[in-house]
Chain A
């Protein structure tokens, strides 16, 4: 792995973000709308008798954390799609750049992207609703790390699918993460799921993170078990995602699909 090649690819995308309105909106505009929508909704719900105590904290905290996962995945998938859209993929892979360096660069980009988004959403939640995201405390670090890694795994799988099936699979870049959302217990506890779904939900690392977040907010202590499960599952899923990516890349080379990804 050569750092100069990873940084070259990161630089290529930073140039793009500097002057692309679409990319700017993706980082700032949509997260802003999310915060406004969910913030006002939670304020409205608080007016009803018997409202969930601390609903604003639960929902806004969950929203910010979910956005971290989503931006992490998008950082990988959209960076790949940018190369497809600009018909630059072949130029990259006939250079000494390796597939591993490409993935490493997209991981760095996803960190940059989600950091910018998180700064905006956290600042807005504080300014508009007085919600201090950092009240979650030290547990925030492993929560965020686990969501980033899950986002990477989904992003890597999405990239492999688009590599294999071409631009007709592009919708996966926007849709695949949302497939996990209903089963990740983002806005409600795992206990609301019917039997069967409940057990399956525990195999989604994000379920452990969001359950953990709620237990921290409810003052139930540091969720060690949740974090251990999330960490273990994430490590396994990241390895599976990388194995799938490399095996797809081999198939793509065997079938000469790299030339046709943009079709």
Chain B
């Protein structure tokens, strides 16, 4: 028997609009993501991906529309929702003068993890970072920093993970390991993942479904291979290039 909590979408966005003055950034976007689903948010620069991610995280107030996580309205349940969600981006960092273990310990406490030291060790081992635990964050390579940021994003065992280009600074081997970690999270923890990436092969390999954005609107959605075929393109990359240049599917 399926419980109600499993049928409620992990994320539900309805009629989301964001304008900066008269300039529209997102124009009436609606979508829902099931629990355990991995969804790619695609689109050229300025399509509205970051705006949607920041709205989901509450760092940006929408002009109108609603965002719900686990059936709860974000506006009235920010703290309870964010305790079950986490985020990682290539474009944010962690305090440089702290060790990896200290940084993760701080975030474990911020998220109210019950045994921070144990959880930090678990996450370090899961991401193959145990050898770096007592190194200063500033002494890591950019690829290692990215993996530590991902470790931060796993610290509260999130039900929803929002990732902004999680493999952008990684070499192919590390990027592959990160993708395997994400697939493992969905398999073991039924984690819901919403990911942005400019690497179309990665999206094809990782995502069950993609939402294709252009000029603040979802212009197509579906399984990656299927939507490429639907529009007569060989793969997602060809479709992406055509949409970015012509602005249509």
- Interface size of A by CB at 8 A reads 33
Considering the chains assembled together, what is the distance between the CA atoms of A87 and B105 in angstroms?
Answer: 18
- Minimum distance in angstroms from A86 CB to a CB of chain B: 4
**Complex contact A87–B93 (CB within 8 A):** yes
Interface residues of B in 60-80 (CB under 8 A from A): 60-61, 78-80
Which partner residue on chain A sits nearest B78 by CB separation? A96
Count how many pairs of residues, one from A and one from B, have CB atoms less than 8 Å apart in the complex: 96
Is B110 close to A, CB under 8 A?
Answer: yes
Considering the chains assembled together, what is the distance between the CA atoms of A11 and B79 in angstroms?
Answer: 21
**Complex contact A88–B20 (CB within 8 A):** no
- Which has the most chain B C-beta neighbours within 10 Å: A5, A7, A15? A15
Say whether, besides A11-B106, A20-B97, A86-B94, A258 and B112 are in contact (CB < 8 Å): no
- A12 neighbours in B (Cβ, 8 Å): 95, 98, 102, 106
- B111 neighbours in A (Cβ, 8 Å): 95-96
**Complex contact B110–A9 (CB within 8 A):** yes
- Interface size of B by CB at 8 A reads 35
Say whether, besides A4-B112, A7-B109, A95 and B82 are in contact (CB < 8 Å): yes
**Complex contact B110–A92 (CB within 8 A):** yes
Considering the chains assembled together, what is the distance between the CA atoms of A175 and B92 in angstroms?
Answer: 28
**Which of A44-52, A67-75, A222-230, A248-256 lines the interface with chain B?**
A248-256
Is A199 close to B, CB under 8 A?
Answer: no
Q: Please report whether the interface of chain B is mostly helix, strand, loop or mixed according to DSSP.
A: mixed
Which partner residue on chain B sits nearest A86 by CB separation? B95
**Which of B50-58, B193-201, B238-246 lines the interface with chain A?**
B50-58
Task: State the B residues within 8 Å of A (CB).
Answer: 20, 50-51, 54, 57-61, 78-80, 82-83, 85-87, 89, 91-98, 102, 105-107, 109-112, 152
* Interchain Cβ contacts under 8 Å between A and B, 28 examples: A5-B109, A5-B110, A8-B106, A15-B95, A15-B98, A16-B97, A16-B98, A19-B97, A87-B92, A90-B87, A91-B87, A91-B92, A91-B152, A93-B58, A93-B59, A94-B58, A94-B82, A94-B86, A95-B82, A95-B107, A95-B110, A96-B78, A96-B110, A253-B60, A254-B61, A255-B20, A256-B20, A256-B54
